[in-house]
Amino acid sequence: MINAALVQRLKQNNISKDGEKTKARVQEIWKAASAAEKQAVCDLSGTAKATVYRIFTTGGISAKLAIAIAQVLQVDPLYLTGEAEQRGTYNEVVVTTLLSRLGYEKLLVEQDKAIRRAQREAVRLQKETVVKNETTSQEKNIKEVSKSEIVTSEDLIVLLQSLEIRAKAGIPQAKQLLGQIKLLLLGV
């Protein structure tokens, strides 16, 4: 999906290929839309409803409004500009092609980078949450073991493995502690 930040950076230049078709088609689609859908178009495009109504008189539509109307109301943007005869449905490939043709490749690349960055951040946060939950769980288990109980070699292996996992996850204290244990075991 094309996000609001990208849509709002599009220019207000007319991209209509047939003004009469654009007038009629936008008017038909706009009248059939609910109030919530109309507001969603305005929110996505960052424009007022008066800007949409201006299309009814001028027959000119900007890339900003064509993409917003197409995305929210599930219409082919080329149908709105008069380039396609069938109403069709919203298609990300068609939108990307249209924006590339209009000279917005740089904005599309920026959006792709931002999406990938957000996905990486979400994965990182998810990993941190898993590690924190695992650490909390292991700490509870360790606290439950009384001092009088004998720690077996299996217990030590599990503890070292969990410490190694925390160190690989980037927890500084775990890295430091693991390094100290290795030095102790090596007799250095």
Q: How far apart are CA 156 and CA 8, in angstroms?
A: 58
- Per-residue pLDDT band for 69 (boundaries 50, 70, 90) equals very high
Question: What confidence tens digit (pLDDT) does each residue in 101-159 have?
Answer: 888 888 878 877 777 887 888 888 888 887 777 767 666 666 665 554 667 778 788 88
Q: Please check the confidence at residue 21 and state whether its pLDDT lies above 70.
A: yes
Q: What percent of the chain has pLDDT over 70?
A: 90
What structural domains and CATH numbers belong to the chain? 4-103 (1.10.260), 107-186 (no CATH)
pTM of the model: 0.60
